[in-house]
Amino acid sequence: MADLVNVDYNTSIPNNVNLADDRRVLKALEKWHPGYLNWWSNMGPEGFQESLVYLRTAVSVDPKGWAKFGYVKMPEYRWGILLAPEEEGRTIPCGEHAGKPAWQEVPGEYRSMLRRLIVIQGDTEPASVEQQRHLGQTAPSLYDMRNLFQVNVEEGRHLWAMVYLLQKYFGADGREEADMLLERQSGSEDHPRMLGAFNEATPDWLSFFMFTYFTDRDGKMQLEALAQSGFDPLSRTCRFMLTEEAHHMFVGETGVGRVIQRTCEAMKEAGITDPYDINAVRALGVIDLPTIQKKANMHYSLSLDLFGSEISTNAANAFNSGIKGRYREAKIEDDHKLEKDTYPVLRLIDGKVVISDEPALSAINMRLRDDYVKDATGGVNRWNNILKKEGVEFQITLPHVAFHRHQGEFSAIHADPEGNLLSSEEWEKRRDEWLPSKADGDFIDSLMKPQWEPGKYAGWISPPRVGIDNKPGDFEYVKVSGVAQNA
């Protein structure tokens, strides 16, 4: 009898799904494994494959102690397959089958929809590793470098999680999709990743922090919605992925917070009170607050695009079939069918941004995006508390949802961060006021010098308040050895 909580390390792939007795799937995964390692060495963190990194590895799904910390070389990381424990008597939480027992096998009528959703989720996981692969070279500290690599290996594990579902439940076409997840590449002309934000560059560490704050949070919301799936193996998979995902957003939130903190301190030391005196602030070797705002505008708006169209038949079908629920579906008090309900949607009607009541089923994406916006506001408030505490008069704000959009209602128009519509000419003229310009990028790039001495931090970012796994300030989170620090 397999232990459902502890990981089975007896096979080459650690798992709590009894792979040892599932020869067909074990074989398929073992066949996929070399291609994955090959992808990791070609597209994973550039230059640190031999370094010892202080990483956590998931060794169980017990909420009280699922991770084990220790030094590992990343290619030897134990990427495992872990599903949250089965819930006795779980039922389909929403849609026309609500209340019936959750599916343990793929429901035939929804097979292609399910496969598509798993493939889209799976595609985002390796994409972010590819986007971040060069960042180790310019890490502002070993602490930050370690956090980057932690996020990277866990996105790798999330890819494993989706590949397991494809291979276990979708036969030959599942195996084909699993192979294609290693073939598409972020930013590639011929085989790009499936979603826009995952083909954008992550050029510097401020972008990395914004990405993990805003874009990993889209990932969180998608996982939350899939965790509500009536297809139980998908639900259990996503529930455990969410445990890891929380750290990614922590890295983003505290990363941006530490950049803001350092900028405030440097301004105070130099007696600069005007945050818009950009040249004076930049001369201190820190990132000025208006540029931080522009980066937030960029990553927030790209992340909003990931929710798709506000009004969507696909989303309605996924909900109605019980394949994808709403955020915290089980805790919502309604009939979970939404046949007669409406939901307020921000739309562009006759050239104006207006709230319009739409059938709730069609507005599932909009609702998830609204939940996302609420969720994303918390960290922004904490950034603003840093500014307040430091006595700097500046506020980070989230731009209007019509700003800089490429999907849905507002993709055809231009708007400023307050949501005022603009002509194309005006947008072109003013774009650099709201989004990072080439000059902003060049300036940030000029600060991206590696700092790999234990306990030291680059001048543009504050040290964290506490270490990872309660380690002391001068802990050597990465034993870099053999990689030249090209300062």
CA–CA gap between residue 158 and residue 248 (Å, rounded): 13
Nearest residue (CB) to Fe ion, 158 versus 404: 158
Q: Is 131 helix (H, G, I), strand (E, B) or coil?
A: helix
- Shortest spacing between CB 434 and Fe ion, in angstroms: 27
CA–CA gap between residue 477 and residue 145 (Å, rounded): 8
- Shortest spacing between CB 157 and Fe ion, in angstroms: 8
Q: Tell me, residue by residue from 243 to 282, as one string, x for binding to Fe ion by CB under 5 A and - for no binding.
A: --x--x----------------------------------
Return the residues of window 322-351 that contact Fe ion according to CB under 5 A: none
Phi, psi of 143 (to 5 degrees): -60, -50
Nearest residue (CB) to Fe ion, 245 versus 288: 245
- Shortest spacing between CB 224 and Fe ion, in angstroms: 12
Query: Which residues fall within 8 angstroms of residue 118, CB to CB, at 6 or more apart?
Result: 162, 165, 166, 177, 234
Nearest residue (CB) to Fe ion, 207 versus 263: 207
Nearest residue (CB) to Fe ion, 153 versus 380: 153
Q: Tokens 């073939």: give the residue.
A: 183
Burial of residue 423 (number of CB atoms within 10 Å: 0-12, 13-18, 19+): exposed
Q: Tell me, residue by residue from 121 to 150, as one string, x for binding to Fe ion by CB under 5 A and - for no binding.
A: ----x-------------------------
Nearest residue (CB) to Fe ion, 288 versus 305: 305
Phi, psi of 92 (to 5 degrees): -65, 125
**Listed residue (378, 419, 414, 375) closest to 396, CA to CA:** 378
- Shortest spacing between CB 219 and Fe ion, in angstroms: 5
- Shortest spacing between CB 129 and Fe ion, in angstroms: 10
- Shortest spacing between CB 155 and Fe ion, in angstroms: 5
Q: Is 158 in the site for Fe ion (CB under 5 A)?
A: yes
Return the residues of window 194-253 that contact Fe ion according to CB under 5 A: 216, 245, 248
- Shortest spacing between CB 174 and Fe ion, in angstroms: 19
365 membership: H or E segment, kind and range: helix 364-389
357 membership: H or E segment, kind and range: strand 352-359
Q: Return the ∠ at Cα 257 (arms to 486 and 203), rounded to 5°.
A: 40
Q: Compute how many residues bind Fe ion; rule: CB under 5 A.
A: 6
Nearest residue (CB) to Fe ion, 125 versus 310: 125
The residue ranges that bind Fe ion (CB under 5 A) are 125, 155, 158, 216, 245, 248
